[in-house]
Structure formats: structure tokens, C-alpha cells
Amino acid sequence: MPPTSTCPPTSQPVHTDADFDHPSHPFAYVINVPLVTMTPENGSTEIWLGTHVDSGLHVQEGAHGTDRASGRIKVQEVERRRTVGMPCQPVVPKGALVIRDLRLWHAGMGNRTGDVRVMLAMIHFAPWYRNRMRLELAEELRPAVERETSLEVPVDWMSEEQALERYLNRGFGNEYDFSQEV
């Protein structure tokens, strides 16, 4: 959100979205689509290239779902990584795709402009990764989704009223569980 006199711009700590015991090879990708051009001024995401190869629990603070430190990278690990390479904060045009490994270290940066910066985020898991999360969609959408025969969509079908009610009352951030079923 844009800063105000009572709410100055703030940044997220450097973190990984893979805040659980996860495979050491790619298993999920995040696709970000900015709905406005993202710049360092309006808080484009800071990314730490190459960190997806060393993002296990040994470099993280906090435990999944227990506090806002979930997935946060330990300060000494961030400082150690700075000796290898600095992060970048790219300009990303409106409508572009940013594809990143779920394990990559990153941080949302403070918006220093008066304009809202908004982006869509979608996570795509490898077919072999047994993630338990499922979409909740209105039954009316079933024909359109099932028409796409090349897609496997984990979905629970329900009435449109139920889908809207559940969507509007869903938790954020640490409410999501990216781990695998056992």
C-alpha cells in the first residue's frame, strides 16, 4: 500500500516461501504478474539469485504457521550471502511474468510512492509433489475447467454462494500449507 503519515513504507524481511522441510530440487514455482509496472520506488520485490539451492530449515527462523518469522532467513545467513552476491530489485513491466522457485529468498520492499502496487501470485506444484491444498470453485465453473483436458486441477466443487463465502473469509500468508501429504 502507498505510505501515509501514520504508516511509513516498510519492507518484508528476507524470506523463503518454502518454510517447511522441502525437497532440495525444484518442486514448486511461483508466477507473479504485476498489474502495474513494479519499480524500486513502488516496492518491486527484492530477489536473491541462486539462493533456492540453500533455503532449507537450517537457514530459517521461526516455524511454519507459528509466527510471522516463518520462513525468515537468519540475519547471519543474509550477511554471509551478501559476500557471494547482492540482491537485485528489478523493474518489471505491467503484465510481465516473474517465474521463481518457491525456495528462492526474496523480500517485498516498501512502496515509497503514492500509488498502489498490486500483483497476482500463483503457485504451481510438480505433478509428483503431493500438496494437500485444493481450489474451491463454484459448480457452475466445472464445464469450463474440465474442458481443459491437459490440466489436472485439484478442486472441491461447491455452490457459488459457498465458494464466495469461503473465499472472502479465508486466512492469508501463513494460513497456507505448502507441505506434502504423507
**pLDDT tens-digit readout, 15-52:** 998 888 888 999 999 999 999 999 999 999 999 999 99
Percent of the chain with pLDDT over 90: 57
Contacts of 69 (CB under 8 A, 6+ apart): 13, 61, 62
As a whole number of angstroms, the distance between CA 74 and CA 71 comes to 9
As a whole number of angstroms, the distance between CA 72 and CA 127 comes to 27
What is the number of structural domains in the chain? 2
With respect to residue 113, please indicate whether it lies within any of the assigned structural domains: yes
Residues 137 and 163 occupy one common structural domain: yes
Residues 31 and 66 occupy one common structural domain: yes
With respect to residue 97, please indicate whether it lies within any of the assigned structural domains: yes
Residue 142, number of CB atoms within 10 A of its CB: 12
Q: Which domain holds residue 5?
A: 1-128
Whichever domain contains 35, its CATH number is 2.60.120.620
Predicted TM-score of the model (pTM): 0.82
| Per-residue pLDDT at 181 | 77
Q: Tens digit of pLDDT for each residue in 55-73?
A: 888 999 876 555 556 789 9
Residues 93 and 142 occupy one common structural domain: no
- Helix residue ranges per DSSP H, 69-132: 75-82
- For residue 15, the cross-strand partners are 72, 106
Please name which of 59, 81, 80, 82 lies closest in space to residue 71, comparing C-alpha atoms: 59
Residues 123 and 150 occupy one common structural domain: no
| Per-residue pLDDT at 6 | 85
With respect to residue 163, please indicate whether it lies within any of the assigned structural domains: yes
Residues 40 and 117 occupy one common structural domain: yes
Residues 14 and 101 occupy one common structural domain: yes
